[in-house]
Amino acid sequence: MLRFAAALALGLSLAACASTPGTTEQTIAVTGSIAYRERIALPPTAKVEVRLDDVSLADAPSRTLASQSFDAAGKQVPIAFALTVDRSDLDPRHSYAVAARITDADGKLMFITDTRNSVTFDGRSAIDLGILNLVKTR
């Protein structure tokens, strides 16, 4: 009886350490790149910002879940981005979208997304949005 109890305790402790095939990762990577159609080079001082927002409420500001900001540092489009969001921050009843913008060194808006780039979280641990097109501002 004592051997059985010891074997059972050992088996349960080993089972607790094993990972199950259905386990999902805690974070989700949302990747893609931004580009625009104009044949204009970005100044080396341009700044890029990409955000993942909860856009569920029509009468309230969106809530940013993840963002990435960096200097273009001479890079030209297409420019890759990668956002990471915690799975626990997502609500399956909500709507999510990615928005991007490029500003000059003084903060003046140069390019921005003008369409909704929806993100559907369907259990995958990585989502590639492809190329998001930005439009030139005046």
Three-state SS letters, the chain: CHHHHHHHHHHHHHHHHCCCCCCCCCEEEEEEEEEECCCCCCCCCCEEEEEEEECCCCCCCCEEEEEEEEECCCCCCCEEEEEEEEHHHCCCCCCEEEEEEEECCCCCEEEECCCCEEECCCCCCEEEEEEEEEEECC
pLDDT cut 70: percent of the chain above it = 83
Q: How confident is the model at residue 24 (pLDDT cuts 50, 70, 90)?
A: low
Better-scored residue on pLDDT, 58 or 94: 94
Has this prediction a pTM greater than 0.85? no
The pLDDT of residue 37 is above 70: yes
What is the per-residue pLDDT across 75-108, written as a single tens digit (0 to 9) for each?
A: 999 999 999 999 999 999 999 999 999 999 999 9
Q: Tell me, what's the pLDDT at 25?
A: 79
